[in-house]
Amino acid sequence: MPDYKLTYFNGKGTAELVRLVFAAGGIVYEDVRLQQDQWPELKPKTPMGQVPILEVEGTMLCQSNSIARYVAKLAGLAGKTPLDQARVDMIMDGMEDLGKKGHGVYWEKDEEKKAEKKKDYEETFLPQFYTCMNKLVGDSGHFVGNELTLADITFFNMTTLVGNYMKLPNVDEFSGLKKVMDHVTSNPGIAKWLKERPETPF
């Protein structure tokens, strides 16, 4: 019985970052995928009425980014010093902003407004964001230090998810970001997971 039990729906969504970190760290965990009809019974038992949750040492953690940071610490991917950890954190939070803004466009009900927002997101926001993030990549091809951290993995995961419904800038035009993506996809644990993970609708 693994020491860690992750519960989410059968999709990537906000749990995939955690799964990627477990994979990169080579840490065994139970990857529980809920059916929709199982959710109402579980919901009041969770800390904040949401998934993903991680059960560990008799405690339930919620909030996907908090779980990801915890697993990253276990896997040695959180950043070495407090300041490094803060920089990993800030990259994660920056990517969260990209995701939230993309969601805002995706869920816009008014078709005309949605088209306008999508155009602005793809043609103005994303190029500016990529330019900004590219500057934050070090010569090593990592966001923080000389090794893979949660920051690199978050960039990969969030852009991949958003890329499912938005046109992303071509990462080949951003040399720093390209290196980050290559580092992530060539990590043995992650490469294996990307090949083996279930195909899901989201």
Partner 1 sequence: MPSIKFTYFDGRGLGEVNRVMLAAGGIKYEDVRLHESKWAGMKPTTPMGELPLLEVDGKTICQSNSIARYIAREAGLAGKSSLDQAEVDMIMEGVRSLFDKAAQIFILPEAEKAARKKKLEEKEAPELLEYLNKLASNKGYFVGDQLTAADIALYVNYESVGSLTIALPSLDKYPNLKKVADNVKANPGIAKWLKERPVTTY
Report the alpha-carbon distance of residue 107 to residue 99 in Å, rounded.
12
Residue 61 binds to partner 1 (criterion: CB under 8 A): yes
Residue 48 binds to partner 1 (criterion: CB under 8 A): yes
Report the alpha-carbon distance of residue 73 to residue 62 in Å, rounded.
16
Q: Of the candidates 5, 31, 34, 63, which one interacts with partner 1 according to CB under 8 A? A: 63
Angle formed at CA 34 by CA 33 and CA 35, multiple of 5 degrees: 125
Give min distance, CB of 191 to partner 1, in A: 27
Which C-beta is closer to partner 1: that of 13 or that of 194?
13
Give min distance, CB of 193 to partner 1, in A: 22
Angle between the 82-106 and 111-120 helix axes, to the nearest 10 degrees? 140
Cβ atoms of 179 and 138 closer than 8 Å:
no
**CB burial string 83-102: b at 16+ within 10 A, e below:** eebebbbebbebbeebbebb
Q: Of the candidates 10, 34, 42, 73, which one interacts with partner 1 according to CB under 8 A? A: 73
DSSP 50-100: -S-EEEETTEEEE-HHHHHHHHHHHHT-S-SSHHHHHHHHHHHHHHHHHHH
Residue 70 binds to partner 1 (criterion: CB under 8 A): yes
Residue 76 binds to partner 1 (criterion: CB under 8 A): no
Residue span 131-170 as binding mask against partner 1, x where in contact by CB under 8 A, dash where not? -x---x----------------------------------
Residue 6 binds to partner 1 (criterion: CB under 8 A): no
Q: Of the candidates 2, 47, 76, 188, which one interacts with partner 1 according to CB under 8 A? A: 47
Residue 65 binds to partner 1 (criterion: CB under 8 A): yes
Q: Which amino acid is at 188?
A: P
Cβ atoms of 108 and 165 closer than 8 Å:
no
Stretch in the footprint of partner 1 (CB under 8 A) among 28-36, 54-62, 152-160, 178-186: 54-62
Residue span 78-117 as binding mask against partner 1, x where in contact by CB under 8 A, dash where not? ----xx-xxx-xx-xxx--x--------------------
Helix (H) or strand (E) holding 33: strand 30-34
Q: Which residues bind partner 1 (CB under 8 A)?
A: 47-49, 56-57, 59, 61-63, 65-67, 69-70, 73-74, 82-83, 85-87, 89-90, 92-94, 97, 128, 132, 136
